[in-house]
Amino acid sequence: MTEREKSYAQLLYQPGDPELAADRDVTVRKLQKYNNMDPLDRSGREAAIREILGKAGENCVVEQPLFCTYGYNTTVGDNFFMNVYGKLMDSGKITIGNNVFIAPNVSIITEEHAMDAVQRAQGLEYTHPVTIGDNVWICTGAIVLPGVTIGDNSVIGAGSVVTKDIPPNSLAVGNPCRVIRMLEQE
């Protein structure tokens, strides 16, 4: 198994692998270009984001600056909006549905360092995919941790740290993030 295959299988892997390091270098260059583009060049930015992300649906807007680890491990649906200072730590897969709004300074993280000190010192880590359903709003400063699924139609409050799955139709807030009420759907 390659190190990338191990990461997708949620096995301990070496992110310092030369192939993965080369992929991150390519992404750094793409991000440098994207983050320095004219913010009003909407068609140029849309084309550039499609070269960074694994898949981007129709009407995909990602404000600058953006950070991602690889880019190609993130897919977003139609009518996606990510505000400034978005962080997609996508060593593992990030799958985002349609009609998702992400506020400024949100981090979505798939990486987790090894708990064993020797393995951690060797730079080994795991990835756990993150899935965000349709019609989700993630408010300012939220952090979505590895392995989390956020259900359709949910809202994650500002500053929340999402450590566990959030069911559909939920308003969830806090650190750790907890459902405080169900949202009625019309």
Active site residues: 113
Rounded Cα distance between 82 and 167, Å, is 22
